Amino acid sequence: MTQESVITQEMRDVIGVESEAVTYDVERGAIRKFAEAIGDDNPLYVDEEAARKSRYGGLIAPPTFMRSMSAGRSRATVQSPYPAALDGGSEWEYFEPVRPGDRISVTMKVSEMFEREGRLGNMLFIIRETSYVNQFGKTVAIQRGTGISYQPSE
């Protein structure tokens, strides 16, 4: 017996609606502190002289630096009908290095929503896509995070 979908039209209408943008100024000191905090002593992140000799021509931020930047207030929210939630992980795509002096604007949107039957019963998957765009309008990275919700058994 197939269960009726829990995805309503109201939920579908949220797909593609971008949050407000938040813009971050990337500072050399912030890159260094972030690299130190994660224990990464790669000279590309902490040694200006060595970084200048690299193919990048100067310091760049570690790829995970974008985790320190959040999107703005959501313009449309989606609420799962299920009370239990799991983090389904995230995937990242990187397109351009982030450098000191860059201005990165961050937005988020729900990009996809679907259901699957699993050992926990019917599960709702919501994919949220966060975009990181520099001052030149180039996308430097995209993160896709998966949220999974379900109805726990009694």
Domain ranges of the chain: 9-25+69-150
pLDDT score for 153: 79
Burial class (CB in 10 A: 0-12, 13-18, 19+), 47: middle
> What single letter denotes the amino acid at residue 115?
E
9-25+69-150 CATH pick, 3.30.1300.10, 3.10.129.10, 3.40.50.720, 3.20.20.70:
3.10.129.10
Q: State residue 42's pLDDT score.
A: 96
Which residue reads 């993160």 in tokens? 143
CB atoms within 10 A of CB 24: 18
Q: Which residues contact 85 (CB under 8 A, 6 or more apart)?
A: 147, 148, 149
28 token code pair: 């050399």
pTM of the model: 0.90
- Provide block-wise average pLDDT over 10 residues at a time, the chain (154 residues): 82 97 97 96 95 96 96 93 95 97 98 92 96 98 97 80
